[in-house]
Amino acid sequence: MNIQIKIGGFVDEEKKGARHAESRRQLVGSLTSLQFKESPISAPATIRLFFHDCFVEGCDGSILVASSSTKELAEKDAVENRELKMEGFETVRKAKALVESKCPGVVSCADILAIAARDYVHLLIKLFNSKGLSIEDMVALSGAHTIGFAHCKHFVTRLYHYRGKGQPDPYMDPKLMYALRMYCPSYGGSAGTVVPFDATTPFLFDHAYYAIAAIPVGVETQSKHRKRTKKSQPITAMRAVVQRVASAKVEIALSQVEGRLVSEIGPGLLVLVGLHDSDSDADADYICRKVLNMRLFPNENTGKGWDQSVMQRNYQVLLVSQFTLYGLLKGNKPDFHVAMPPERARPFYASLVDRFRNAYNTDAIKDGVFGAMMKVSLVNDGPVTMQLDSQSPKSAEA
């Protein structure tokens, strides 16, 4: 099967658009930095606002829209969202006004909220680092429900009228439900009544909350939904599309029909790599190890199929960076905000290529040109194509 694919970087118009996008991110970044200094609560307020927006049918900015009538409540005025801090809304309003003054009618409020939330995460990481605390410490402390309490009103529907059906949440542990009903009656209870998130060790800062979050004995519903539904699993993985090929080559596109040959392999693997904004060395190690050890080739001596890796066959690997693997559709327009930005992706991708060369054979690992418009030609052998994510739900089996 002979296929030609155009992938890689931007044409001139796209490069111009990328520069404009970077300038818009800088505008929002200047505003979030100022807000963080003047009102530090803006950071958690905006991140929580972003979570509430995305948790219901995607990150579309609907959390920012107020109700137009009393008969039909908008998302912003839903009971669950009434206690959201105004500092989060103010961040979006100010950032939107700043961007509109420079680039009117281009950037949506949904994008502004996503960019601002990401900026605040990076600012919080820097703040925690300045105190000698790591990202892991920040996550543990920011999610410190192990010493927190919840008001009955936030979960009472799970005890009596889950999803409006007049029945309790079937996924809640029966013993926990009985205990919670003692504190939180269906009607007439005190609005100030609270119960601990971590009922096992409510006054100790330990890992118990995270342990019970993995089983249905927690007060909050979020952990249950994240565990039970694939849709709510966040995408935080390096992505590789691995194709078994008889041959493959990469050319730099000189025109619609001409190209300059950059790399070429015979039998082996063509690997398209998408970098996520949150990728780390651990993701790179996982992808490298898995790709080189995937048993995608038959054993010619024994006749067994799916028995040997690319290294066992002494074949070659052609790596090609492809940010579009993390494209998300907003309507009909692709959006790449979850992909790692080019300024970080370039050195990170180079380190990934080095990992492959160090783990296998330098001469056996070929590469495209990062950020260039490329023409990739391949003869898929099979066809055989596999998608590999570094932090998929079952990646722990490694």
151 is catalytic: no
Let me know: does 288 contact 398? Beta carbons within 8 Å.
Answer: no
**Amino acid in the structure at residue 114:** A
Joined tokens for residue 361: 């054979």
DSSP-assigned beta bridge partners for residue 244: 269, 384
Residue 130, annotated as binding a ligand: no
Count of helices and strands (H, E) across the chain? 11, 11
Residues whose CB is less than 8 angstroms from the CB of residue 18 and which lie 6 or more positions away in sequence, other chains included: 10, 342
Residue 77, annotated as binding a ligand: no
Residue 285, annotated as binding a ligand: no
Residue 198, annotated as binding a ligand: yes
Instruction: Give SS3 for 7.
Output: strand
Nearest alpha-carbon partner for 6 in 380, 386, 377: 377
Kindly name the residue from 52, 161, 225, 276 that is annotated as catalytic. Answer: 52
Residue 281, annotated as binding a ligand: no
The structure tokens 């050890």 sit at 293
Residue 137, annotated as binding a ligand: no
Residue 62, annotated as binding a ligand: yes
In this structure, what are the phi and psi dihedrals at residue 198, rounded to the nearest 5 degrees? -110, 100
CA distance 118 to 26: 12
Pairing state between β 268-274 and 239-253: antiparallel
CA distance 276 to 343: 13
Residue 75, annotated as binding a ligand: yes
CA distance 102 to 119: 19
Residue 22, annotated as binding a ligand: no
Let me know: does 373 contact 6? Beta carbons within 8 Å.
Answer: yes
Residue 279, annotated as binding a ligand: no
Residue 354, annotated as binding a ligand: no
Joined tokens for residue 250: 């990469």
| Residues contributing to the annotated binding site for heme b | 145
Catalytic residues: 52
| Residues contributing to the annotated binding site for Ca(2+) | 53, 56, 58, 60, 62, 75, 146, 198, 201, 206
